[in-house]
Amino acid sequence: MKIVMLDGYTTDEGDLSWRELASLGEFTYYERTTADEVVARAKDADILLSNKVILSKEVLSQLDGLKYIGLLSTGFNVVDLQYAKQRGIPVCNVPNYSTKSVAQLTIALLLEIVMGVGKHAQSVKDGQWSQCRDFCYRAQDIVELDGKTIGLIGYGAIAEDVAKIATALGMNVIAYKRTPVDESLAEMTSLDGLYERSDVISMHCPLNSQSQNMIDAAAISKMKDGVIIINTARGGVIDEKAVRDSLDSGKIKGYGADVLSSEPPSSDNPLIGAKNCYITPHIAWASREARSRLMNIATENVRCFLSGKIKNCVY
């Protein structure tokens, strides 16, 4: 079997190894693949692996020998699933590999907003403490999270882990899910109820037609003044201009996100350079531990396919 990896670099920047996957067939590895290169590189592949390379109907229709698509991600929007299913090509993803890491970054973004660790550390490097007349100073307001309410939009495995950490910090946890669950850590509430009651809102929902731009000006108007919003879900669930405007007005106290509507972002993205806005470059999934799990699961998916047992098929 010919196995082709189209874009393995972000998963393995040299600190891990694809050895196990390579042992399963004739393995060809590419760090990155542009749209113009996909067909030429994948034309002889039996097994094709992709993270962010788009596998459209137009592309897949030119790959006559393709038998399996493996994703190096949980999301599967890069593949035309309808056409793959029509062709009988299983599309297998990697679920739940980064749950702990994403929950960790969610809380890290929140703590940065309320404590300003990076801002204070930089001010010390810049000499402000050395020049201070007093034994301490504050570069921003500091907020204690104990007793505050965090609202989780979406309540899967990541949100549940965020709820556990938030509970340990003394926060009250409420959540909205289209299909409510009986969950002791979070009180289920309506979406409007979550907007009205939350001091912090954290996004954990998938991006679809219902969630596209769900945090818009109308939604923000229902929130508390000084609300904090965290987004480690998908950039498209946020109306970025509305968030920028609300940061400027002070309606939103702080916004922390690991995702943007377009990645990498254009230089004119409204959130780049916005005040009290903390953006990380889609790193929540990228701990060494999470990437190692991803590689192991992706390899096991291929191994199962070769043995006639499809695992983690998304349709």
Residues designated catalytic: 234, 263, 282
Tokens of 268: 């004119």
